[in-house]
Amino acid sequence: MCYATDSNLHRFNNSILRISMTMQMSDIHNNMIVVGVKFVAYEGGIHLQIQQSKFILGKLNTNTPVWKKLDDFVHNTNEKMSYGTLSDFSGQLYLDDVMLPPKYVVTGVRFLSRKVPPAGYYLQVHGTPFDLQTGKLDPENSMWFIGGNWEFSKRSDYERDRIEIKNLDHDDPIRCNGYNYDQTTNKFIQFRHSSVTKDAGQSTIPYIDAQPVEIYPAFPLSGIGLFYRERAGCGGYVAPRIFAIDTTQHK
């Protein structure tokens, strides 16, 4: 498992009120896989950008990892919109670890919306079967996965109802230090204004951690998740985390 470190946290401007629902896919037909992710601000919205690298003869080409260019938002109202707003569904975001079956690697990510309570935006991860020895991907059998679909997705967390992380009347996160990592999944958090008494309600919380999350040297991934950095009374940060494949499952 890989996290961004606590130092040098970044946040996005409070005017960002959209979340991208555009697929971010590696070039699987050129044997490229996802090896890192990061939140970025682009065109007034939040995107989860992917870093991709080429797999050759059972090894990653460590000279090839690149951050793939983001697609533009679709603004034409006659087309399916490529973004949602944080005011929709009360601005709620699911916090899940999306894990893939054995012998699959991550080849894409996207956010989708759910209207059934607790409504909100959730992460999907695209997985593609591959042969660790040859490095060959099998795009014909690629699939999308969500949190809790598989027995290796921390089943105990998904044997209960989804839990809300309470962040009402919390302060601006930038004023706080010493955040804790919430390791559990199957939760959700609502974007809302900060405390009126502590921060005059001028910030949108939680903040988004914009640090890149990657493994060095680059390594194939078996899952991607979202988690919350928290401290009592503070708004906190939402950040991505990645999971490296277990090579013993690919023999």
Higher pLDDT, 189 or 72: 189
Per-residue pLDDT, 153: 55
Please check the confidence at residue 208 and state whether its pLDDT lies above 80.
yes
pLDDT digits (tens, 9 = 90+) for 6-58: 434 444 445 566 889 999 999 999 999 999 999 998 887 889 999 999 987 66
Q: Which helix (H) or strand (E) holds 47?
A: strand 45-56
Cα of first residue to Cα of last residue in the chain, in angstroms, is: 21
Mean pLDDT across 186-201: 89
Nearest Cα residue to 22 out of 127, 112, 147, 90: 112
Nearest Cα residue to 126 out of 95, 148, 101, 158: 101
Dig out the tokens for 149 from the structure: 């679909």
Nearest Cα residue to 33 out of 189, 177, 190, 223: 223
Determine contact, residues 187/97, Cβ cutoff 8 Å. no
Q: Which helix (H) or strand (E) holds 181?
A: strand 180-181
Mean pLDDT of the chain: 83
Whole-model pTM: value is: 0.88
Q: Which residue in the block uniquely carries the two structure tokens 């894990």?
A: 99
Q: Which helix (H) or strand (E) holds 197?
A: helix 196-199
Higher pLDDT, 216 or 48: 48
pLDDT digits (tens, 9 = 90+) for 92-127: 999 999 999 989 999 999 999 888 777 889 999 999
Higher pLDDT, 81 or 71: 71
CA distance 65 to 219: 10
